[in-house]
Amino acid sequence: MKLIFAGVTGLVFGIGIALSGMMNPAKVLNFFDIAGTWDPSLAFVMGGALMVTGLGYRLVWRRAKPLFDTAFQVPVSTHIDRNLVSGAALFGIGWGIAGFCPGAALPALGTGRWEVVLFIVAVIGGLALRRGLSRLALVSVPQ
Amino acid sequence: METVFTPFLSLGGGVLIGLGAVLLMLGLGRILGATGVISGLVFAQSRKEASWRVAMIIGMILAPGLIYLVSGTMPAVDVPVSPAMIVIGGVIVGFGASLGSGCTSGHGVCGLSRLSVRSFVAVPTFMATAALTVFVLRHVIGA
């Protein structure tokens, strides 16, 4: 039941990503290209999503626990550190280069486009690189 | 490459993205962060950790096909960048999202709606560096 629920969650999210235009790098890059072929659509994506989560999370948190687990697992840290800022800065640079972000690329795998597979493999490479550097203590590990 | 401004589709897609995030909180009590879904699967310590993520990704991947079945057209994936840029961007996205503990979905949708201080730092940071990157690539270098 938990797995079916997770699958439906992914399907709803994926349909949203597809309809919104987030899985189209041309559209995403145009959102950032204010000086050129600007397409403000993605502001509406963020607005629509935040309206629903802003209200929906608060309704869900009235429950004592989620349906299929013993407790809500929400990040509690409020600490602003160098990793957060430099990580976010790098993330934006990568997003601006490739035009895909992970949440857009996962549903986009369903279109069968090889570029999407290439991007996901590269993201996994980046995640592995971070973990490798953390082991070497070159980058500090959160938590 | 010009793209069409789609305020209503993007708003509707955004609502579904938010609904997916709320459903995951309701069912499994977790933040919907796509990078976390990928890394939690690729570097899973146990089958329990991996299984719901697999189910969720399967749901996501089915989304474009479902849209094709209903509407007769596959969601657009226009890639205006080279394969090398996809790889470089993807590695930086994976590394940065890991270092900064989140991406567009985790910090952008889930974090902002939870009023997380860290997300209120991360989101403007990656939005700014993405816009700057696109500006440099398109209008300074002219790639």
Could you list the pLDDT tens digit for every one of the 143 residues in chain B? Answer: 899 999 999 999 999 999 999 999 999 999 999 999 999 999 988 888 899 999 999 999 999 999 999 999 999 999 999 999 999 999 999 999 999 999 999 999 999 999 999 999 999 999 999 999 999 999 998 75
Q: Which of B17, B85, B87, B128 is nearest to A103 (CA)?
A: B17
* Interface contact flag, A118 B83, Cβ < 8 Å: yes
What's chain A's length in residues?
Answer: 143
Among A32, A45, A65, whose Cβ lies nearest the Cβ of B130? A32
Tokens 């949440």, located at residue? A103
Task: Give yes or no for A53 touching B (CB within 8 A).
Answer: yes
* Residue pLDDT, tens place only, A85-134: 999 999 999 999 999 999 999 999 999 999 999 999 999 999 999 999 88
Task: Give yes or no for B140 touching A (CB within 8 A).
Answer: no
What is the model's pLDDT at position B66?
97
What is the model's pLDDT at position A143?
42
User: ∠ CA A62-B108-A95 to the nearest 5 degrees?
Assistant: 155
Query: Which of A121-141 are b and which e, b meaning 16 or more Cβ less than 10 Å from the residue's Cβ?
Result: ebbbebbbbbbebeeeeebee
What is the model's pLDDT at position B100?
94
A128: closest CA of chain B, how far (Å) = 8
Contact at 8 Å (CB) between A43 and B14?
no
Averaged pLDDT of chain A = 94
Please, which pLDDT band fits residue A70 given cuts at 50, 70 and 90? very high
The whole-angstrom separation of Cα A112 and Cα B72 is 16
- Cα Rg of chain B (Å, integer): 17
A133: closest CA of chain B, how far (Å) = 10
Among B13, B96, B126, whose Cβ lies nearest the Cβ of A48? B13
Among A6, A59, A122, whose Cβ lies nearest the Cβ of B94? A122
Q: Write out chain A residues lying below 8 Å of B114, CB-based.
A: 57, 74
Task: Give yes or no for B4 touching A (CB within 8 A).
Answer: yes
The whole-angstrom separation of Cα A74 and Cα A65 is 12
pLDDT of A137 > 80? The answer is: no
Q: Is the dihedral of CA B69, B72, B78, B84 positive or negative?
A: positive
State pTM to two decimals. Answer: 0.95
